[in-house]
Chain A
Amino acid sequence: MTSIQLDLVDDDAIRFQHNLVQAVAEIDALGVAIDITALEVVDSFMARVLNDTASMVRLMGAEVVISGVQPHVAMTLVEMGRDLIGADCTFNLEQALARLNERISARGDAMAAQGAGNANYYLG
């Protein structure tokens, strides 16, 4: 579970991506929820960082859900260009965790059966 707590400058966004991917590897994460409620502006750069992060996490074998896209951010992203964020989204973090749990159980792999640990990782 990662929660972005403030608007990020570009270098922070890249650092976030790097740290998150490292953390996923370290704890063999089964799922990642990225909450962006605090992001007041998501431009094409930030959208790309989020998309790339989601792709990296998926490549490593974990599920990804993004939550908390603000209404004005959603409006701006769609006006700017379709499909800027391709990852699965939910309204809030609670729903994101529920969605992750569903997907992880649906996978039914051995690791999921063992039960996963939870690591909270905050940036900001």
Chain B
Amino acid sequence: MPTITWDEIQAVQETADIMRARTAAKRHAAALGFGLADQTRLATAVSELTRNVLLYAKEGSCAIAHSTTDGFTGITIRVEDKGPGIGDLNSAMQDGYSTSGGMGIGLPGSRRLMDHFDITSSPEGTCITFGIKKRNG
């Protein structure tokens, strides 16, 4: 896999950063020609996953990259933190599982919204790379 060049990397430290991150994701998606439905799916996933960072790891970052290869335009987001990690990743990816009293829809819901979704988690932190793509033209 080629090295990703990030267009924008933003800290996630306070609740206002959730809005900043999702607004940036939406802006990048719009600039790449994604429609309003795709912009909203992406912004919603960014909102869910950056909130998880604040909830479980206190702080982290959100990076945005674009790609134009093989006739496809894509946008990739990486949300990562150095928090305690997700103890039971399989359960966390199931609807309704939450350790924070939430609805338990953030992770599985975000995965459903995205065209690709990859998560790694260990006691050293969690890294989620996800995004959408569309055929050019």
Contacts and interface: CB of A to CB of B under 8 A. Distances in A.
Interface of A: 7, 9-11, 40-45, 47-48, 70-73, 75-76, 79-81, 84
Contact of A44 (B19, B22, B37, B102): B102
Given A48-B103, A80-B109, A80-B113, A41 B15 contact: no
Contacts of A11: 15
A44 B40 contact: no
Contacts of B103: 44, 47-48, 81, 84
B19 A43 contact: no
B126 interface: no
A117 B105 CA distance: 39
List the 4 closest A-B pairs by CB distance, nearest first.
A80-B109, A43-B47, A72-B40, A10-B15
B31 interface: no
Nearest to B50: A43
Contact of B105 (A7, A10, A41, A81): A81
Contacts of A44: 48, 102-103, 105-106, 109
A45 B102 CA distance: 8
If over half of B's interface residues share one DSSP class (helix, strand or loop), that class is named, otherwise mixed; here it is helix
A41 B43 contact: yes
15 contacts: A11-B15, A41-B43, A41-B44, A45-B48, A48-B102, A48-B103, A72-B36, A75-B41, A76-B40, A76-B44, A79-B41, A79-B109, A79-B113, A81-B95, A81-B112
Given A7-B19, A41-B43, 10 more contacts: A40-B26, A40-B40, A41-B22, A43-B44, A43-B47, A45-B102, A70-B40, A76-B40, A79-B41, A79-B112
Contact of B18 (A10, A40, A72, A79): A10
Contacts of A79: 41, 109, 112-113
B1 interface: no
B64 to A, nearest CB: 16
A80 B102 contact: no
Contact of B51 (A10, A42, A47): A10
B16 interface: yes
A84 B105 CA distance: 9
